[in-house]
Amino acid sequence: MQRPGRADRLPGRFFSTHQGPQRVTTRPENIMSELVNTSEVAIPAVPNKNGKINLLDLNRQQMREFFKEMGEKPFRADQVMKWMYHYCSDNFDDMTDINKVLRNKLKEVAEIRAPEVVEEQRSSDGTIKWAIAVGDQRVETVYIPEDDRATLCVSSQVGCALECKFCSTAQQGFNRNLRVSEIIGQVWRAAKIVGAAKVTGTRPITNVVMMGMGEPLLNLTNVVPAMEIMLDDFGFGLSKRRVTLSTSGVVPALDKLGDMIDVALAISLHAPNDAIRDEIVPINKKYNIETFLAGVRRYLEKSNANQGRVTIEYVMLDHVNDGTEHAHELAELLKDTPCKINLIPWNPFPGAPYGRSSNSRIDRFSKVLMEYGFTTIVRKTRGDDIDAACGQLAGDVIDRTKRTLRKRMQGESIAVKTV
């Protein structure tokens, strides 16, 4: 076989002439209907502007296909992945168990390029928030160290289409989906930084939660391969119980997810009835609570990662959804859905029309749920002094972000569209 040269001389699906991802222009209200027809296989990686394939865009199956097209054995792909993810190496010359001819070939046609950290903030509680550049915009990634674990909160989109009223990210609007390399690259970058500092010992990240900016189920074609790399033994090697995807209720995509991968599931419920949820989580007008919970139960039937129950996320909004009557209603709502419940004190952001529930109201709400037999946890707020807490991630979304911030500065109301 003739030795491959530069990328433009290599055949096959990895070497098209397409020059990178196109900006997403789909209107938010059309995203859900288009998603149903989304392919269950991630779009093959395409060369960057420099004509090279970013290997962070490839899961193990795709990596092996890439090496096969170069005339190499599949085990070479495994070797490279081990260097990439076990040692966080982005330099082919570091890979000393790979012969020099192959290393030089890889340098001609491929690269390992994770998005760069452009700003770091450290909280008094040890939480770290990184602003990460993705093209001309930013997303935010949060590292939360604890005594027995180190959790990374990862973004899946630039902005968010769902426009939940209590969430800072949602007020920016939606710009585009992140690529596989931009999602797994957040984990790679964090592992490299934390590992170099030797903050947590041999495993710098023990848990990943897809709870950052964006709705993960609206970016399945990139989120699923990224999570596959998180789980892969030649990737980050995390247990499926330690990778959690959180969704606000894109039910058709939730059904697809159950056929594609098995990870822990958390759902952003936040209301005990449709009237309240329609107001604060607009996607509920398309997929109401009954439809959402039915989809959750279908997922649980397929999943081992959840150990038979889902995590319910419930943000506590003062005198909106936090009364004892709401707690009784929530308990009745969830009686047929095996779950544990996380109560989340709301984290404020400029211009938001809500207040955080008092500790006494949260305590009463929690006691009602526990009387019904639900495992109920009040989430400890982490990183709120650097706007890294739940619902506070903002990043930097072009155009619409600036208009929204101007409205906040001027005290104008922010319209929330129906999705």
Every domain of the chain and the residues it spans: 7-27+43-111, 117-410
Sheet holding 339-345, edge to edge: 117-122, 128-134, 137-145, 150-153, 207-210, 243-247, 264-268, 310-316, 339-345, 375-378
CA angle 362, 326, 374 (to 5 degrees): 70
| Catalytic member of 88, 160, 164, 390 | 390
Q: Is 390 a catalytic residue?
A: yes
CATH 3.10.420.10 fits 7-27+43-111, yes or no: no
Cα–Cα distance for residue pair 345/389, rounded to 1 Å: 10
Long-range pairs, 197-203, Cβ under 8 A, ≥24: 199/145, 199/150, 200/145, 200/150, 203/150
pLDDT at 163: 87
CATH 3.20.20.70 fits 117-410, yes or no: yes
pLDDT at 1: 39
Q: Is 153 a catalytic residue?
A: no
125 HSE (CA, 13 A, CB side)? 18
Estimate the crossing angle of helix 60-69 against helix 220-231, to 10 degrees.
Answer: 90
| Catalytic member of 72, 111, 140, 313 | 140
Alpha helix (H) residue ranges in 28-72: 28-35, 60-69
pTM, rounded to two decimals: 0.83
pLDDT tens across the length of the chain (419 residues): 333 343 333 434 554 433 333 334 344 344 444 443 333 444 456 677 778 999 999 999 999 999 999 999 999 999 999 999 999 999 999 999 999 999 999 999 999 999 999 999 998 888 999 999 999 999 999 999 988 899 999 999 999 989 899 988 777 889 999 999 999 999 999 999 998 755 444 578 999 999 999 999 999 999 999 999 999 999 999 999 999 999 999 999 999 999 999 999 999 999 999 999 999 999 999 999 999 999 999 999 999 999 999 999 999 999 999 999 999 999 999 999 999 999 999 988 888 889 999 999 999 999 999 999 999 999 877 655 555 444 444 444 444 443 443 443 344 333 333 22
Cα–Cα distance for residue pair 31/412, rounded to 1 Å: 28
| CB neighbours of residue 299 within 10 Å | 22
Task: State the amino acid at position 190 in one-letter form.
Answer: A
